[in-house]
Amino acid sequence: QVQLQESGPGLVTPSETLSLTCTVSGVSITSSSYYWGWIRQPPGKGLDWTGSFYYNGSPYYNPSLKSRVTISVDTSKNQFSLKLTSVTAADTAFYFCARGRRGDPFDIWGQGTMVTVSS
């Protein structure tokens, strides 16, 4: 059974860096059959794609965030991570990690984690 679990601080200070990790179980993130991504959702608002990657490929980032976002991979732990720099209150959101089948949309999602940007 494939599962994804987000983890990281629930509170981040403005201008600092938001760091989250997605731990994947039941499938290897190195599989060429899938891609992985981050999606965020401000409270009470819609879904906003943040970034995605295929293992062994370059990551794709939302152009609106491109200068602030980085996705990295730790294959030894079967994890991938999100870093978002210079955060403001506008980055307060639920952050989901998700898996997609190659050529298809996200089919399996983590439960999400709430991150609040506040001093």
Partner 1 sequence: DIQMTQSPSTLSASVGDRVTITCRASQSISSWLAWYQQKPGKAPKLLIYKASSLESGVPSRFSGSGSGTEFTLTISSLQPDDFATYYCQQYNSYWAFGQGTKVEIK
Binding residues for partner 1, rule: CB under 8 A, are: 37, 39, 46-49, 52, 60, 62-63, 96, 98, 100, 104-107, 109-112
Going by C-alpha positions, the residue among 111, 87, 68 that lies closest to residue 11 is 87
Smallest distance from partner 1 to CB 93, Å: 13
Report the residue number, 16 or 60, with the smaller CB distance to partner 1. Answer: 60
Smallest distance from partner 1 to CB 109, Å: 4
Give the DSSP letter string of the chain.
--EEEEE--SEE-TTS-EEEEEEEESS-TT-TTEEEEEEEE-TTS--EEEEEEETTS--EE-TTTTTTEEEEEETTTTEEEEEE-S--GGG-EEEEEEEEETTS-EEEE---EEEEE--
Report the residue number, 32 or 75, with the smaller CB distance to partner 1. Answer: 32
Report the residue number, 74 or 107, with the smaller CB distance to partner 1. Answer: 107
Smallest distance from partner 1 to CB 74, Å: 23
Smallest distance from partner 1 to CB 45, Å: 8
Report the residue number, 16 or 48, with the smaller CB distance to partner 1. Answer: 48
